[in-house]
Structure 1
Amino acid sequence: MLIKLRAFAASISLFWLGAAHATGLEFRFNEAPARLYSAAVQKGQIDAATGEAIRRLPETGAMVRKMRLKDADAFIDYLRGLGRDPQKVELATQVQSEFGRENGGKFALAATEITRQLKAYVPPEFTANLTVHFLFGGNAMGFAFDDKHDDVYVDLSRFTQATPEELAEVVSHELFHAVQSHVMTAPPRPAADMQQSATGKIWMNRLLYDLVQEGTAELFSHPIADRPATPFSTRGKERIVRNLKRIKNIAALMETSSLRLLLAPPRDEDHYDRIYGMLFYGNFDDMGYDMGWVMANAIERKDGKQAIFRLLQGEPKQFVLRYQQIAESDPTLFRFNEDFLSAVRALPR
């Protein structure tokens, strides 16, 4: 596996690390957008030249898309708003300070840890050249797009209190999404002329696909549950404890949501998103992430780390069915009900 952090001059200063193999997975950090955005917030105003520089960044387009803004000017207005918030200005100052550290600071340490984590799950024959785009601001700690296989995005404003290990775990989570996009077969979308009532299996399969993605990626960010709390990890640890206590209820919500998609399909992507959000949005306590982790962790413990990568190569329903096989002989694990499992088995190949 090859891990690189490149060193460009001036505005894009990326750090090089030594290559572990001649071929394999490469990733690099692009800190340019985080530098520019956080400097604008720290300064508290955005002049014409800075505004034009922000518009030119490809990452600005990604932020507009993720935040569902009208255009780049709307994002610039958003940054101006952050510049009027003393707490956000302080975060921007801290991010700028981290960039000024010698030898890469937190980022270089995180890169070494990311290398170790990914190497455990990704076989050496897998090849890709990925970029981690560091940002400042937005509505997500990290994200990736299904149609951009080589790019992931991480909001550094949320990591000022994080250790290098904690930063690495979240970045690894996002990079694994990029790996997934190379390996997994994206689920089909309903054809434009397809009757809504006939799309149920398509939407249910989509939810299982999303469960596989988030559950397996959560293997990287879930270790905070097993360590003492830190200023960064406290909220996440508390969420995990809450969700594990009610895991059977979360599984029931997964069953109900899946059967709702199957029997009363949503009209479009936005209506699907409302159902997806109950399981995977933070305002609903990220319940689907923790249920997915329970499933992925059970499979890893039984079949090994490389089994996770192999599951990505198959149908989403195999993740659910393999978990159920393991749960049937382990009384500590929740089990899905038979109505749900029958519907899962009936999904097309």
Structure 2
Amino acid sequence: MRAKLTLLITSLLLSVTAFAAKPAGKLTISLDFESAKLITTLLSRKTVTAAQIDKVADVYGSRQLIAKVKGYSGAGAEIFKSTLREIIETGAIKGDDPYNWKAVKANLPAITALIKKLSASPDAFMNEVKEKIEAYTSDKITANVRACFLVGGGSLGFTQGEETTFNVALQKIGDDYEGLKLLVAHELYHSIQAAGFASRKADSKGLPYNVKATFALLYNLWTEGTANLVGDFVGMKNPAPFSKTQLDEYQKNADRMRENFAMFEALAYKCYNDTAAKRYDVYYNIAFSTAFDETGYYTGYEMAKKIEKYEGKQALANMLTQDLLVFAETYVKLYKAHPEDKTFIRFDASTENVLQNLVPWREKM
């Protein structure tokens, strides 16, 4: 998920297929299955009317999906409707399939079973997610969050727009209930992080581009790293296929962690020091997109693990309402305080200098 630097906290209206659960503090979560239920029902049929297609395209979750897919492929609502109708009526799609309906249809039994299980016990599901996040959550956070379960598209989890909504695509998860809990914990924690960030009311007006861009890299390092720890797949017993793919990613990045750190440090150095270049989007994609295996997620994850080891989960919870330098500064402080711990990956002096140079701006980001 691409994290935002601003967030508008809004009240959310629940659909008839949404259910509410309240974890610790002032956090309200709703589960929305409406789009997924409508689409999977239609995909089980051989015929469909224009009115039915229009209805499914207009529900909240489908509008989130359409906005996401249109953003990276250009395929908007009309393509959503025409390709969905094509696969319902013919069982195939001859041309491009930007909404991945073929994958949804191929996994329809598992998806339907998972939606049925979630719908039957939404409170039980959210209570299990709550157990994973509550130790990392500050009671200072107030937010209303919608967890929107979708089918279709190419993204596993994403946010769209400024609302406190996160979206999860079920066709890549199959019937992996345990894996879904961890994924939801990860994405939910992003909403908590964004609410905490917004509560600081930092004003970044007037900041130089290179300062804002470097802070944005540090923001994503913190948010993705700690969210990976909150929804940690490591240690899972008897993982289902989806969870196994996630574990493989953790292991691949663990095997090259020193290189991951070096890559992030090079990006941060370039971002801050090359004031003539304005390429934050490129730097973001290198560190935090699937094009380069999301290496920044695992750099931040390694840092978050060390902070938890030496200062506990509460230290990470406190960071929800602290400035964006605290995460990296705490990591530096810890590896300097524990030279005996040879498993620490230390930043180069040039990276520490970048952090120091950002200090005068910390309250504005």
**TMscore range, shorter length:** 0.7 to 0.9
TM-score, with structure 1 as normaliser: 0.83
Deviation at 1:46, TM superposition (A): 5.0
Across the aligned residues of Structure 1 and Structure 2, the Cα RMSD in angstroms comes to 3.0
Of 335-344 and 181-190, deviating more is 181-190
Superimposed CA distance per residue, residues 5-56 of structure 1 (whole angstroms, 9 cap, x where no aligned partner):
xxx8xx8334566x677x6222121100111223334436653112211232
Cα distance in 2 for residues equivalent to 1:99 and 1:110 = 12
| Aligned equivalent of 1:166, options 179, 184, 195 | 179
**Residue 233, structure 1, aligned to residue 237, structure 2:** no
Deviation at 1:96, TM superposition (A): 2.4
Q: Where does residue 155 of structure 1 map in the other structure?
A: 169
**Residue 111, structure 1, aligned to residue 126, structure 2:** yes
Q: Where does residue 95 of structure 1 map in the other structure?
A: 111
| Aligned equivalent of 1:71, options 54, 71, 76 | 76
Cα pair 2:54 2:81 within 8 Å, conserved:
no
| Aligned equivalent of 1:33, options 32, 35, 50 | 35
| Aligned equivalent of 2:331, options 318, 323, 327 | 323
TM-aligned CA distance change 1:201 to 1:286, over 3 Å = same
Superimposed CA distance per residue, residues 250-294 of structure 1 (whole angstroms, 9 cap, x where no aligned partner):
1111011112222335876xx422221111112312211111111
Deviation at 1:80, TM superposition (A): 5.0
Superimposed CA distance per residue, residues 41-85 of structure 1 (whole angstroms, 9 cap, x where no aligned partner):
443665311221123223233223322135322333454576626
Cα distance in 1 for residues equivalent to 2:16 and 2:302 = 39
| 2:165 aligned partner, one-letter code | D
Q: Where does residue 12 of structure 1 map in the other structure?
A: 16
Q: Where does residue 96 of structure 2 map in the other structure?
A: none
| 2:55 aligned partner, one-letter code | A
**Residue 342, structure 1, aligned to residue 344, structure 2:** no
Deviation at 1:117, TM superposition (A): 1.5
**Residue 176, structure 1, aligned to residue 193, structure 2:** no
| 2:138 aligned partner, one-letter code | P
Q: Where does residue 6 of structure 2 map in the other structure?
A: none
Cα pair 1:114 1:169 within 8 Å, conserved:
yes
TM-aligned CA distance change 1:341 to 1:216, over 3 Å = same
Aligned residues: 329
Q: Where does residue 247 of structure 1 map in the other structure?
A: 257
Cα distance in 2 for residues equivalent to 1:75 and 1:50 = 13
Q: Which runs of 5+ in 2 are unaligned?
A: 1-13, 93-100
Superimposed CA distance per residue, residues 180-231 of structure 1 (whole angstroms, 9 cap, x where no aligned partner):
111114887787xx9xxx5211111111111111111111222334544432
Superimposed CA distance per residue, residues 94-144 of structure 1 (whole angstroms, 9 cap, x where no aligned partner):
322344459716x55432211212222223453322211110012221112
Cα distance in 2 for residues equivalent to 1:94 and 1:29 = 19
Cα distance in 1 for residues equivalent to 2:276 and 2:289 = 18
Of 95-104 and 238-247, deviating more is 95-104
Q: Where does residue 285 of structure 1 map in the other structure?
A: 293
Superimposed CA distance per residue, residues 149-196 of structure 1 (whole angstroms, 9 cap, x where no aligned partner):
x21111111221313x321111111111111111114887787xx9xx
Q: Which runs of 5+ in 1 are unaligned?
A: 1-7
Q: Where does residue 52 of structure 1 map in the other structure?
A: 54
Cα pair 1:133 1:151 within 8 Å, conserved:
yes
Of 222-231 and 246-255, deviating more is 222-231
| Aligned equivalent of 1:139, options 124, 146, 154 | 154
Q: Where does residue 127 of structure 1 map in the other structure?
A: 142
Cα pair 2:104 2:151 within 8 Å, conserved:
no
Cα distance in 2 for residues equivalent to 1:86 and 1:291 = 35
SS at match of 2:28: strand
Cα distance in 1 for residues equivalent to 2:204 and 2:142 = 27
SS at match of 2:168: strand
Deviation at 1:341, TM superposition (A): 1.2
Cα pair 1:94 1:160 within 8 Å, conserved:
yes
TM-aligned CA distance change 1:125 to 1:276, over 3 Å = closer
| 2:111 aligned partner, one-letter code | V
Cα pair 1:25 1:127 within 8 Å, conserved:
yes
| 1:182 aligned partner, one-letter code | A
State how 1:191-202 maps to structure 2 within 5 Å. Answer: 198-202=208-212
TM-aligned CA distance change 1:317 to 1:16, over 3 Å = closer
Q: Where does residue 5 of structure 1 map in the other structure?
A: none
| 1:299 aligned partner, one-letter code | I
TM-score, with structure 2 as normaliser: 0.80
Cα pair 2:307 2:334 within 8 Å, conserved:
yes
